[in-house]
Amino acid sequence: MRRRSLFPRVMIDKDTESEKSSSDEEEEDANVVSPEEERIQKGKTPITVTLKKVCKVCKRSGHEAGFRGATYIDCPMKPCFLCKLPGHTTVTCPHRVATEYGMHPAPHKNTTNPLEFVFQRQLHPRLPPIKPAHVIPDQVSCAVIRYHSRRITCLEFHPTNNNILLSGDKKGQLGIWDFGKVHEKTVYGNIHNCILNNMKFNPTNDGSIYAASSDGTISCTDLETGISLSLMNLNPNGWEGPSSWRMLYGLDVNSERNVVLVADNFGYIYMADIRSNNKMSKPTLIHKKGTKVVGLNCNPLQPDLLLSCGNDHFARIWDMRLLEAGSSLYNLEHKRVVSSAYFSPLSGSKILTTSLDNRIRVWDSIFGNLDNPSREIVHSHDFNRYLTAFRAEWDAKDSSESLVVIGRYISENYDGAALHPIDFINIRTGQLVAEVMDPNITTISSVNKLHPREDILASGSSRSLFIWRPNKLDIALPREEKRMVLCGELSKKRNKKHGDDSDDDSENDIFISKDIRFKQKKHASKSSPYKSRRNKQGEEYLRRVNTHSAPPAHFSSMYIHGSATTPYSAPVMDVNIVVPASSVAEP
DNA sequence: ATCTGATGGTTCC
DNA sequence: TGGAACCCCTCAGA
């Protein structure tokens, strides 16, 4: 009291009535002050701080954006966060209800023109149906591991060993995980010293991998020894300021020419010879000068056909034999930054791009008209600064080249939990085929890769890695493994400050592995269904005690649309486009 | 439970 | 062209 009397009295006035007119924002409320306090203050005017409920997005009062429970309420003053069009919010966006909204499915050609017929047959000797439904699992089990110290930036499956997943992170570390033997992982932390942007296996030696990093180098790392050699260093003089520091983003290998292709943040492409490990020729400007080229992809059938994409809003097709500035064969225009562009993995005749305008674009044939995409699928993958860019990735096992996987940015309220699923999309129809999520994984899985040979999905979410596979595969597992249910932290990360840069993060791993088959939402029960055990290494883990029968089907980890066995429980709403009201009614 | 700090890149002027 | 402002659903650790 005595102390306070030295200062003007500060009143905190918490406003709960958002409906109040904004005119009273400026005026000071008449505060009720006891006569004694008034005497102490001796005429000092109280300062009133009014905490008015204000929309954190547009800073206006009358409505609030943010989570209400597990449902995110959009700011009505902004265009739809999903499709970016004005007039409605994400909640009522028709694309949220159905990803195929506004879609013109790939035409089933019923042509009588013999030329077209021949052309069509040449492109698609047989047009198989999308990967059969039974191969898209209706339930998945999942393994989780965390050994990266920064968020994951890229994933790659081993070309011959089915159980090896390679992962790169923002710090430049390269992780090798044998998810067959859940515990086995290796982290190489001394290859790069900042973001590992892309990696690709050496086509002639699957024991080594090439990686492009923002430190401006290409590395070739032996997976066994971790010994790495540098094929290129674009910053030989070290840091001379941001205007000269070159970072490498896009990377691919042209196996016919034995050349590693990389692209930098200033719009240039570089080549390095695999055999001599030397930089070849001079760099070529392939995107707008000064803009980042984030992706390079060689055509699987004709490696001299190159696809690039970047921050100048274009994906561009090039002929390697005539590679010079401005010589692109085609420029595929986008409305915003293109974060990935890939030829289809089998025929190489389709193109799939992911752009920050929240659209996945598909060109059905590189031999056809490339002026406009064949389809644009509205999908939430606009990302913020803390996430790795989303990329739509092909399923190389789908002979119809229709199935694509991509993580989703905006969450959905799944039985009270805000989850960010990983979406399987049929790019011929725009339909959402399946969504993968787990009630325990609340983070956004922006990095996803499908196994080239097996029904396995790998995801990178923040610093964690996930392996998802259908439960039906469990049938083939030995009994003990089949029932193996690990959940929880096996070892706590030591508190370690920066300083000695010893990079022995493998010592600090947090390891989590769990089976999510029967996982229920967190708040369902407070008592833990897990018991503490120790594994062979003496590490503690938690094992699920089977006290309950299987939960309701809608807690399964994978939701299949239109499936009779696993009902899709995401909210179904009327498509009702409304003009945003100036104020949203308070609950 | 609540808060905070580390973080980039794009767009606009 | 450069620089500042801005950016809707982060994440992890304290």
Give yes or no for CB of A84 within 7 Å of strand C: no
**Higher pLDDT among residues A120 and A562, named by residue:** A120
Q: Nearest-5° angle of CA A478, CA A484, CA A487? A: 160
Give yes or no for CB of A387 within 7 Å of strand C: yes
pLDDT digits (tens, 9 = 90+) for A148-179: 888 899 999 999 999 999 999 988 999 998 88
State whether residue A234 is helix, strand or coil.
Answer: coil
Q: A196 CA to C13 C1', in Å? A: 24
Residue with tokens 């509205």, as numbered in its chain: A378
Q: What does pTM read for this prediction?
A: 0.74
Cβ-count burial A142-177 (b if 16+ within 10 Å, e if not)? bbbbbbbbbbbbbbbbbeeeebbbbbbbbbbbbbbb
**Strand B bases, protein C-beta under 7 A:** 6-11
Q: Which residue is nearest nucleotide C6, judged by alpha carbon to C1' distance?
A: A57
Q: Nearest-5° angle of CA A502, CA A264, CA A340? A: 100
Q: Is the pLDDT confidence value at A30 over 70?
A: no
Q: Nearest-5° angle of CA A169, CA A171, CA A177? A: 40
Q: A298 CA to C11 C1', in Å? A: 35
Give yes or no for CB of A547 within 7 Å of strand B: no
Which pair of structure tokens corresponds to residue A409?
């940015």
* Mean predicted confidence (pLDDT) in A187-208: 91
Give yes or no for CB of A382 within 7 Å of strand C: no
Q: Is the pLDDT confidence value at A553 over 80?
A: no
Highest mean pLDDT (candidates A41-55, A425-439, A565-579): A425-439
Q: Is the pLDDT confidence value at A142 over 90?
A: no
Report yes or no: A64 and A57 within 8 Å, Cβ to Cβ. no
Chain A 417-436, CB < 7 Å to strand C: 418, 420
Give yes or no for CB of A337 within 7 Å of strand B: yes
pLDDT of residue A133: 52
pLDDT digits (tens, 9 = 90+) for A214-229: 889 999 999 999 999 9
Name which of A340-354, A466-480, A529-543 the model is least confident about: A529-543
pLDDT digits (tens, 9 = 90+) for A37-94: 444 444 444 444 445 677 877 777 788 888 888 888 888 888 888 888 888 888 888 8
Report yes or no: A157 and A166 within 8 Å, Cβ to Cβ. yes
pLDDT of residue A259: 94
* Mean predicted confidence (pLDDT) in A445-457: 90
Give yes or no for CB of A523 within 7 Å of strand C: no
- CA–CA separation, A86 and A64 (whole Å): 18
Q: Is the pLDDT confidence value at A284 over 90?
A: yes
CA A137 to chain centre: 21
Confidence class for position A26, pLDDT limits 50, 70, 90: very low
Confidence class for position A528, pLDDT limits 50, 70, 90: very low
Which pair of structure tokens corresponds to residue A129?
């149906």
Report yes or no: A432 and A85 within 8 Å, Cβ to Cβ. no
| Structural domains for chain A | 55-97 (no CATH), 136-469 (2.130.10.10)
List the beta bridge partners of residue A376: A361
Confidence class for position A511, pLDDT limits 50, 70, 90: very low
Q: Is the pLDDT confidence value at A305 over 80?
A: yes
pLDDT of residue A586: 30
Closest CA to A418 of A71, A93, A74, A89: A71
Strand pairing category for A10-14 and A47-51: parallel
Q: A106 CA to B7 C1', in Å? A: 41
Q: Nearest-5° angle of CA A439, CA A442, CA A445? A: 110
pLDDT of residue A343: 96
Q: A559 CA to B7 C1', in Å? A: 34
Beta strands in A311-446 (DSSP E): 314-319, 330-333, 338-343, 351-355, 359-363, 375-378, 393-394, 403-407, 412-414, 417-419, 422-426, 431-436
Q: Is the pLDDT confidence value at A576 over 70?
A: no
Q: A244 CA to C3 C1', in Å? A: 17
Give yes or no for CB of A385 within 7 Å of strand B: yes
Q: Which residue is nearest nucleotide C13, judged by alpha carbon to C1' distance?
A: A495
Measured over the CA atoms of residue A84, residue A88, residue A92 and residue A95, the dihedral's sign is negative
Q: Nearest-5° angle of CA A451, CA A455, CA A456? A: 55
Q: Which residue is nearest nucleotide B6, judged by alpha carbon to C1' distance?
A: A386
- CA–CA separation, A249 and A229 (whole Å): 18
Q: Which residue is nearest nucleotide C8, judged by alpha carbon to C1' distance?
A: A57
pLDDT digits (tens, 9 = 90+) for A315-337: 999 999 989 998 999 999 998 89
Q: Is the pLDDT confidence value at A300 over 80?
A: yes
Q: A421 CA to C8 C1', in Å? A: 18
Hey, what amino acid is at A213? S
Closest CA to A394 of A448, A337, A460, A357: A448
Q: Is the pLDDT confidence value at A24 over 80?
A: no
pLDDT of residue A578: 19
Give yes or no for CB of A74 within 7 Å of strand C: yes
Give yes or no for CB of A385 within 7 Å of strand C: yes
Name which of A14-28, A335-349, A427-441, A567-581 the model is least confident about: A567-581
**Higher pLDDT among residues A134 and A78, named by residue:** A78
Give yes or no for CB of A410 within 7 Å of strand C: yes
State whether residue A46 is helix, strand or coil.
Answer: coil
For chain A, the first-to-last Cα distance in angstroms comes to 39
pLDDT of residue A155: 95
pLDDT of residue A128: 61
Report yes or no: A261 and A254 within 8 Å, Cβ to Cβ. yes
Chain A 476-505, CB < 7 Å to strand C: 493, 495
- CA–CA separation, A320 and A301 (whole Å): 14
User: Can you spell out the DSSP letters for A345-365?
Assistant: TTT---EEEEETTTEEEEES-
In terms of residues, how long is chain A?
Answer: 587
Element (H, E) at A530: strand A530-534
Confidence class for position A373, pLDDT limits 50, 70, 90: very high
Q: Is the pLDDT confidence value at A13 over 50?
A: no
Name which of A78-82, A110-114, A235-239, A406-410 the model is least confident about: A110-114
Which pair of structure tokens corresponds to residue A567?
């009902």
Which letter does DSSP use for residue A327 in this model?
A: -
Give yes or no for CB of A523 within 7 Å of strand B: no
Q: Which nucleotide is nearest to A197 (CA to C1')?
A: B8
Residue with tokens 């506004």, as numbered in its chain: A102
Mean pLDDT of chain A: 70
CB burial of residue A186 (10 Å; 0-12, 13-18, 19+): middle
Give yes or no for CB of A213 within 7 Å of strand B: no
**Higher pLDDT among residues A136 and A285, named by residue:** A285
Give yes or no for CB of A65 within 7 Å of strand C: yes
Give yes or no for CB of A93 within 7 Å of strand C: no
Give yes or no for CB of A336 within 7 Å of strand B: yes
Q: A245 CA to C3 C1', in Å? A: 18
Highest mean pLDDT (candidates A447-451, A531-535, A559-563): A447-451
Q: Which residue is nearest nucleotide B9, judged by alpha carbon to C1' distance?
A: A385
**Strand C bases, protein C-beta under 7 A:** 7-14
Give yes or no for CB of A148 within 7 Å of strand B: no
